Amino acid sequence: MVGDSSFPLPDVVAPSVTALPTDADVTERLLAEFEATHGLRLVSGVIRSCRAELRNTVATYPPESLEALVRSRLPVAALAVEAGAA
């Protein structure tokens, strides 16, 4: 009969603790904090470049390192954009 199985189903499927955050996850968190000073375009561009840099330099990196690197680069990226606009 449908639904009758000898294999038990898990009650709750928990997300992997070691999974890397998606760009959307990081973007949402950073925009909540920096949207007034940095726009979506700048934040997402810095995220993409930082993720590519981490992929090219380190085979595996801790999930929190992407956001930490982006946070360190956002002020510098904003200054470069302002200088280019002048």
In a domain, 16, yes or no: no
Length of the chain: 86
Q: How many CB atoms lie within 10 A of CB 29?
A: 15
What is the value of pTM for the model shown? 0.65
- Structural domain contains residue 13: no
Nearest Cα to Cα of residue 70 among 28, 30, 24: 30
Tell me if 43 is assigned to some domain.
yes
Greater confidence, 79 or 14? 79
Reported confidence tier of residue 24, pLDDT bands at 50, 70, 90: confident
Q: Indicate whether 1 belongs to any domain.
A: no
Domain residues for the domain of 34 are: 23-85
State the angle between helix axes of 23-34 and 40-57 in degrees (0 to 180), rounded to the nearest 10.
130
Q: How confident is the model at residue 58 (pLDDT cuts 50, 70, 90)?
A: confident
Q: Is residue 72 in some structural domain?
A: yes
| 31 found inside a domain | yes
Residue type at position 15: P
Task: Give residue 58's identity as a one-letter amino acid code.
Answer: V
Domain tally, the chain: 1
